[in-house]
Structure 1
Amino acid sequence: MNRKVGLFFGTFNPIHTGHLIIANHMAEYSDLEEVWLVVTPHNPLKKKSSLLDDHQRLEMVYKACETYEKLKPSNIEFGLPQPNYTVNTLAHLQEKFPTNDFCLIMGEDNLKSFHKWKNHEVILENHEIYVYPRIAEGIADPTLLHNPKITKVDAPIVEISSTFIRKSIKESRNVRPLLDQKVWEYIDLMNFYR
């Protein structure tokens, strides 16, 4: 029997308590045995300049996951050609870890634009998708939500954004409650986002 592993992709710039709440909820309240937080080196849709170095973001994910048995940081995309697409990462992971069944974790807002993803039909054919709710304009295509490969998980709705955290740090505001203690200490020590 293969192990079910959820993949939670993100730039995690920085990783915050919202990410941890969702990842942990998926690990604890679905049939996923583990959740890997996959640090995206460079999302083709985002400006590179606003991103911290890949390894610094990975370091923050390591610090955030330390005390969670079922959450694992992953740098799997660091070695893949850029810009990278999810379909390639999934193929690479499946080859590297044949005894795992990899599932995608995404917000309902991402599911809405899923049809624009490269080879989205291939992804849906070979992988399950676990969707968490978001407060967003409109919802995903209802036909998608009825797809047997898509599971809607009733996770808490957390509206914290990394952009908001970066902006707040720049303005010298206290955002410690929004970050894991070790992540906050690392950001402070390294003088990130100031």
Structure 2
Amino acid sequence: MKIGLYFGTFNPIHVGHLIIANHMVEYSDLDEIWMVVTPHSPFKKKNSLLDNHHRFEMVYKATEKYFKIKPSNIEFNLPQPNYTAHTLAHISEKYPNKEFCLIMGEDNLKTLHKWKNYETILKHHHIYVYPRITEGNIDHQFKDNSKIHKIDAPIIQVSSTMIRKGIKEQKNIKPLLTEEVWTYIDEMNFYRK
């Protein structure tokens, strides 16, 4: 089984995340997508970042109806800060019968050469890239690499930052979230301050 790992803080998860994940699992050779919720780093103070369990709960609620998209809290018990290379090594050891691939936006591909152990990641894992509107160029070593697959997915301009700002400003942002996620945010009174 080939699984795409889609990492993010998902603060909150929105329809853009789901559109990309669904497109990746339906229009590539990936069998499942795991939405990996990145923990709140104890070294960073970020008031707008909800606790891990709340963000995981929202990902769980958002993906419940999508049988090929699963929430994952695999990074919650790993040493901080989380490095993708360490997470990939851990998850591959834990699930030896599954092949794990990385999902990233084109903007991340442009900075991949700065990632810790990026050569190891590329040696052992395929990377599936979705388009983003970004500045800068892709490093020559990633342009025709057989491990890197560009997927012609829709370009999504929705961001969690925009949603948090909209909630704080009392805008109607409901169309950008699943009903279950909006209800959870509303009931818990998140992002209002």
TM interval, short-chain normalised: over 0.9
Q: For residue 140 of structure 1, report the CA deviation from its aligned partner.
A: 2.0
Distance 1:37 1:141 in 2: 27
Q: For residue 139 of structure 1, report the CA deviation from its aligned partner.
A: 3.7
Distance 2:101 2:185 in 1: 31
Task: Give the root-mean-square deviation of aligned CA atoms.
Answer: 1.4
Classify 1:109/1:45 alpha carbon distance in 2 versus 1 (closer, same or farther; 3 Å): farther
Q: For residue 46 of structure 1, report the CA deviation from its aligned partner.
A: 6.6
Contact 1:145 1:151 in 2 (8 A): no
Q: What is residue 103 of structure 2 aligned with on the other side? A: 105
TM-superposition CA deviations, 1:92-117 (whole Å, max 9, x none): 00000001110000000000011111
| 1:123 pairs with one of 103, 121, 124 | 121
| 1:5 pairs with one of 3, 6, 11 | 3
Q: Please, which moves more after superposition, 47-56 or 129-138? A: 47-56
Question: Are 1:18 and 2:16 counterparts?
Answer: yes
Percent identity, aligned pairs only?
69
Contact 1:11 1:43 in 2 (8 A): no
Amino acid at match of 1:162: S
Amino acid at match of 2:78: L
TM-score (norm 1): 0.96
Contact 2:6 2:36 in 1 (8 A): yes
Q: For residue 45 of structure 1, report the CA deviation from its aligned partner.
A: 9.8
Q: What is residue 51 of structure 2 aligned with on the other side? A: 53
Distance 2:88 2:122 in 1: 11
Question: Are 1:156 and 2:168 counterparts?
Answer: no
Q: What is residue 191 of structure 1 aligned with on the other side? A: 189
More helix by percentage? 1
1:171-190 pair list within 5 angstroms:
171-190=169-188
Contact 1:42 1:82 in 2 (8 A): no
DSSP 3-state at the match of 1:78: coil
Distance 2:149 2:42 in 1: 27
Distance 1:104 1:97 in 2: 15
Classify 1:89/1:30 alpha carbon distance in 2 versus 1 (closer, same or farther; 3 Å): same
Q: What is residue 31 of structure 1 aligned with on the other side? A: 29
TM-superposition CA deviations, 1:95-151 (whole Å, max 9, x none): 000011100000000000111110000000000000000011134224302100000
Q: What is residue 86 of structure 2 aligned with on the other side? A: 88
Distance 1:27 1:44 in 2: 33
Amino acid at match of 2:169: E
Q: For residue 47 of structure 1, report the CA deviation from its aligned partner.
A: 4.8
Gaps of 5+ in 2: none
